[in-house]
Amino acid sequence: MSKQKQDGSKRFSCVFCRLSDDCPDKYGEKMIFEEYKLTLHYCCLFMASGIWQRGNEDEGIYGFLVEDIRKEVSRALRLTCKICKKTGATIGCSGKKCRRTYHFPCGLEKQCIFQYTDPFASYCWEHRPVQKAAKRRRGSGPALCTICLEHVDTIPSFSILKSPCCKNTWFHRDCLQTQALSAGMFFFRCTVCNNKDLFQNEMLRMGIHIPERDASWELEENAYQDLLESHQRCEVRRCQCDKGREYNEPGSQWEIKRCQSCGSNATHFACSLINRWCETWECNLCRDIICHSGSLQRLHSMSPFHSETKKNSKLEVPFSPFMHPRLSGSDCSFSRSAADILQELGSQIEVYQVSRFNVGLDDVWDGALEGFKNQDFSPAKKICVSFSSGIDSESEADNWCPTRKFLKLLWNHLKNSSLFEGSPQSKNLTFDPQASSEDLYYEAGRMIAVSLVHGGPSPNCFSKTLFHCLVIGPEKAEPTLEDVADFTVVQKIRKIAEAETLEDLKAAVRDCSAYLSVTKNLSFHSIEDKKQLEMDMIRFYVIRRVHSSFIRFQEGLKTLGVLEKIQLYPDVFRDVLCYKSQELTHETLCSLFKIKSLSEDWKKLEDEVNATEFWNEYLRDTDAGLTNASLESILLFATGADFIPAIGFNPEPSVVFVPQSEEQSSQKTKLPQNKMVQNCLKLPVFNTYRQFRKHMDTLMFGLMK
């Protein structure tokens, strides 16, 4: 078979429909075979009712023998098109008892359905298949075609089709046909859920032509040639390489490193302070996208939280999984807390495997280092702590949970160690050569990660700069003068900032030339350059000077996946890592402790309601300093910790009231009692608040003494 296309092909008319139009989107490819003296449209050939592919694929025209085609043309001369009233109608309706015949173009205009799958049936405008009308919700307006994003009426018709696999998903027929011709059978699928088989079967039934070939973009010559080119240019705002942005020396600090996410941005190792052993790097744009969209990526992977939420409430997610909530203008119907996220990480812990620590109160740091560096230690094992000496009193040792006591003492030592500097509310990393040589920054990061997941206290002392370095990277963080802890350096920077003339600036630079020399920036030309000099000094002392320490600290925080969660949920972890008052209040404890086991007996219920009021009143008086107890001592007695862990309590703290009728007077004096494993506090029932407070004061004072 020899097929030819000529520039003058429009002069040749199709032997079936007698049109010379060359419109592949409507009629299929127009084919001219001069040796057979035949011109026909692809669709007219395949939809003809009286012809079959009796030959092989390479015989005749697509398996249709030439003599069969001529016989079909002769047969059609005896049939009249019911639409245009002309002879040559080769297509008949497949509906039962329907005798309508028509040309292919006429059938298209009359909205007939042609099914491009065996047996290539055709249906007239009265017998064509239809889709079931979807139930319209009250107040629902027009939907959008998910291909062209134009409005469509949510009523199935010839020109409007709905998806068989996704509810409330609609398409224009023309949009679907255009996409099918472009994507081909291998790539044509639902634009929302990516379903292929169910979607294609329904579209074929409704007359969408899906050509059995590869996608058009796969057939273009050298279509992906640009992907073979790699980005080789440093895109950092201030490239430090003297030989230019495109200079690349593998194995040195001037080797170009591409972004692992997009590959379209790159930097020299030295320009972004990347260590040679660091395998990954992301540009600022990709890091921002990952940080802000990570919550959505993991929205349906939070199995413990999601299942618990679904069990306890009828909560629905009101946005599509293909639409970010911030971009869609709607908020997620539930938000994650730090406790939820840390509890998810806590599911990694094997409670039946133990990492043991033997420490004393006088050398918590040494005991912690020894335990963390032990070859048997694993962050995913349960921590078991034994204090060798130094407990203040037997009663206090009984009240404290050893693990929480250890984690609190460890963090108190860490934040006051030489690894950090700054005010108690705003700590930054410092450069300690000895600590760096012993890799203590890595151990510190690992200890903080382990502490957060194992029930330790919230740090609540990171500076905003240190937090931003962890979340968006040190190259994008913007330190301020308040982050500089060295008073001498602060004075030098202020002198530069206060310079009003060029002479004043020169004098300030001479006075601190030794400091500016380490920043490698001593050049300035006008008074306007003082801001850049100031920022260079601040950035050097806060970020560049401690870069190697920060990298190891960051590596330690990756333990148990903590750093990844911090970067994915920065707004959530800001209150955990940065300063926020953790002082206990009576409102905090009232909401923390849940009242349990209320009696169904009306008389006992009334007593327990009064006891609940007495309990809340006692917490208010304790917060005001009017009782012998403290809020911390009450929390410690009930849970084994005088702080609320970032991961929360499991199970949640509760209060159980023991009615007077159920207790002998000799037993009643033993209340309150605690069940530390259950975080439960048992309290007595009295008739008056005065009796309740007196009893609580006496026993709580004795227990905390």
Rounded CA gap, 455 and 255, in Å?
43
The reply to whether omega before 129 is within 30° of 0 (cis) is: no
Question: Residue 693 pLDDT > 50, yes or no?
Answer: yes
pLDDT (average), residues 446-456: 93
Rounded CA gap, 672 and 201, in Å?
70
Helix axes 464-472, 284-297, angle to 10 degrees: 80
pLDDT (average), residues 351-356: 88
pLDDT for residue 573: 93
pLDDT band (50, 70, 90) for residue 441: very high
Which residues are paired to 258 by β-bridges?
266
**175 near 183, Cβ under 8 Å?**
no
Q: What are phi and psi of 253, to 5 degrees?
A: -70, -10
**584 near 632, Cβ under 8 Å?**
yes
- 503 Cβ neighbours under 8 A, 6+ residues apart: none
pLDDT for residue 2: 45
pLDDT for residue 550: 93
User: For residue 178, what is the enclosing H or E element?
Assistant: helix 173-187
From the list 459, 452, 415, 408, the residue with the least C-alpha distance to 632 is 408
Rounded CA gap, 32 and 157, in Å?
35
**312: which 2 tokens?**
């306890």
pLDDT band (50, 70, 90) for residue 304: very low
Pick from 20-24, 394-398, 539-543: least confident: 394-398
pLDDT band (50, 70, 90) for residue 230: confident
pLDDT in tens, 120-141: 889 999 888 888 876 665 545 5
Give the alpha-carbon dihedral of 399, 401, 402, 403, to 10 degrees.
Answer: -160
pLDDT (average), residues 71-75: 87
DSSP 421-446: EEETTEEEE---HHHHHTTHHHHHHH
664-702 burial, b at 16+ Cβ within 10 Å, e below that, comes to eeeeeeebbbbebeebbbbbbbbeebeebbebbbebbee
pLDDT for residue 1: 46
Rounded CA gap, 112 and 135, in Å?
26
- 41 Cβ neighbours under 8 A, 6+ residues apart: 14, 16, 17, 19, 27, 28, 29, 30, 31, 104
Rounded CA gap, 152 and 170, in Å?
7
pLDDT band (50, 70, 90) for residue 151: confident
pLDDT in tens, 515-532: 665 554 555 556 677 788
User: For residue 267, what is the enclosing H or E element?
Assistant: strand 266-268
Q: What are phi and psi of 552, to 5 degrees?
A: -70, -40
The reply to whether omega before 211 is within 30° of 0 (cis) is: no
Cα separations in angstroms, 591 against 121, 585, 587, 676:
70, 10, 6, 19
Other Cβ atoms closer than 10 A to 313: 10
Q: Most confidently modeled of 14-28, 100-114, 676-690?
A: 100-114
Pick from 34-43, 282-291, 381-390, 575-584: least confident: 282-291
pLDDT (average), residues 77-87: 88
pLDDT for residue 417: 92
Is 566 or 391 the better-scoring residue by pLDDT? 566
Q: What are phi and psi of 563, to 5 degrees?
A: -60, -40
pLDDT for residue 306: 40
pLDDT in tens, 470-514: 998 988 889 998 999 888 888 888 888 888 788 877 787 777 766
Q: What are phi and psi of 568, to 5 degrees?
A: -80, -30
Distance from CA of residue 61 to its chain's centroid?
54
pLDDT in tens, 598-641: 555 555 667 778 888 888 899 999 989 888 888 888 888 888 88
Which residues are paired to 64 by β-bridges?
61
**635: which 2 tokens?**
């929390």
pLDDT in tens, 164-196: 888 788 899 889 988 888 888 888 888 888 888
Rounded CA gap, 496 and 519, in Å?
15
Rounded CA gap, 123 and 36, in Å?
31
DSSP-based three-state secondary structure for 525: coil
pLDDT in tens, 278-288: 667 788 778 76
DSSP at 652: P
pLDDT band (50, 70, 90) for residue 142: low
519 burial level (CB within 10 Å; 0-12, 13-18, 19+) = middle
Question: Residue 556 pLDDT > 90, yes or no?
Answer: yes
pLDDT for residue 325: 34
pLDDT for residue 296: 41
DSSP-based three-state secondary structure for 659: coil
pLDDT for residue 492: 82
